[in-house]
């Protein structure tokens, strides 16, 4: 072996030397570990995907007779809208408190409170979020009165980047 080859081999610490073939036991252990990891990954994937794929389909929200829309009677829709509208002033106050000079961020923060209200309502009333938001949309478009007796605002603040 030439002196330069010996120096390179010593510097690389044997990296250039081919690795001896693994023993049968080591090969079997590696294959078993890989198989177990594959099975665990498949189980985790199935457990994650099953609730999404097996979720019940939302009901067809066709209009019914005698004022039924979105699968709900008008009195129920108005009650849902009234609860959402009653929570609106609190959400606006929290938005203003959290972001005093940032109108878009105030509105974004208010929407987070509205989201919590709608989720809670959907769970309590046993209806879907789709139905809740359709009722909210109907109430805004029909200008049903809010908590202060005035219709809810149907506009939002244009996006403006935050400034420090």
| Average confidence score pLDDT of the chain | 82
67: left (phi over 0), alpha (psi -120 to 50) or beta: left
Q: How confident is the model at residue 105 (pLDDT cuts 50, 70, 90)?
A: confident
Does the pLDDT at position 2 exceed 70?
A: no
pLDDT at 16: 60
- The answer to pTM > 0.75 is no
Using a 10 angstrom Cβ sphere, with 0-12 exposed, 13-18 middle and 19 or more buried, the burial of residue 65 is exposed
User: What is the mean pLDDT of the segment spanning 86-107?
Assistant: 84
């Amino acid at each position: 072996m030439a002196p330069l080859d010996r120096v390179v081999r010593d510097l690389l610490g044997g990296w250039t030397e081919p690795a001896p073939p693994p023993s049968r036991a080591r090969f079997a252990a590696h294959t078993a570990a890989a198989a177990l990891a594959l099975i665990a990954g498949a189980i985790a994937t199935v457990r994650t995907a099953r609730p999404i794929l097996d979720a019940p389909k939302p009901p067809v929200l066709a209009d019914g007779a005698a004022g039924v829309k979105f699968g709900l009677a008008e009195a129920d829709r108005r009650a849902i809208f009234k609860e959402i509208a009653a929570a609106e002033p609190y959400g606006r106050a929290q938005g203003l408190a959290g972001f005093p000079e940032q109108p878009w961020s105030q509105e974004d923060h208010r929407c987070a409170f509205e989201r919590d209200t709608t989720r809670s309502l959907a769970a309590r009333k046993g209806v879907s979020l789709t139905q809740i938001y359709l009722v909210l949309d109907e109430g805004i478009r029909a200008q049903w009165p809010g908590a202060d007796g005035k219709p809810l605002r149907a506009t939002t603040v244009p996006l403006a980047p935050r400034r420090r």
